[in-house]
Amino acid sequence: MAAATAFPRKSKRAKGIFWRRNTVRINYLAIVVAAILYFLLGGLWFGKLFNNQWMALEGFKAADLKNINPTIPYIVSMIANLVIAFILALVCATQKADSAVKGAQTGILMGIGFVATTALSTYMFEGRSFHLYLINEGYPVVGLALMGAVIGAWKKKAA
């Protein structure tokens, strides 16, 4: 009798939660495209739009960057982007963010709610520049909006 109470049966509600997770439809091609677009946005963001300001605030010189081999960081960044896009696709699917606008809104909420707020605490305790914070954390907020728009807008064809 004690063993039966140690492992109670799952309630109907608990079963529903677990069953719903298995019925979420994910568009894997949209995830790959969103991850690539986020990667390209990073190149535009840090390479063109905010390059000089970002380098000055980080204390980098052009010569410093020439001595760095970017291959491993690019590979790790792309893998991380795929993970981010997959998680965002799960959130969009479960929240029924099924349009570009709803997907972008979901991405912005995730970016501000989790990424920007978490980093803000770190920046404050480290005494880092708020301008640097806006550059560094503006990228994932805008990037998550872009990825959410792609994921939300891209409908998976019915089988």
Q: What is the pLDDT of residues 91-119, one digit of tens each?
A: 999 999 999 999 999 999 999 999 999 99
pLDDT of residue 20: 52
- Could you tell me the pLDDT band of residue 3, with boundaries at 50, 70 and 90? low
- Domain annotation covers residue 20: no
Residue 11 lies in a domain: no
Tell me the residue range of the domain where 121 lies.
25-153
Residue 17 forms part of a structural domain: no
The answer on pLDDT for 135 being more than 90 is: yes
Domain presence at residue 85: yes
What is the rounded CA–CA span in Å between residue 4 and residue 6?
6
pLDDT for 68:
85
Out of 56-65, 74-83, 86-95, 109-118, which region has the weakest mean confidence (pLDDT)? Answer: 56-65
Q: How many structural domains compose the chain? A: 1
Q: Write down the residue that tokens 């809104």 correspond to.
A: 105
- How much of the chain exceeds pLDDT 70, in percent? 82
Give the model's confidence band at 63: pLDDT under 50 very low, under 70 low, under 90 confident, else very high. confident
Q: What is the mean pLDDT of the chain?
A: 88
| 68 part of a folded domain | yes
| Residue 159 binned pLDDT confidence (cut-offs 50, 70, 90) | very low
Residue 154 DSSP SS3: coil
Distance between CA atoms of residues 110 and 16, nearest Å? 25
DSSP structure class, residue 159? -
CA triple 40-46-48, angle to 5 deg:
85
Asked if residue 5 is part of any domain, the answer here is no
Residue 29 lies in a domain: yes
For residue range 14-42, what is the model confidence (pLDDT) as tens digits?
555 554 555 668 899 999 999 999 999 99
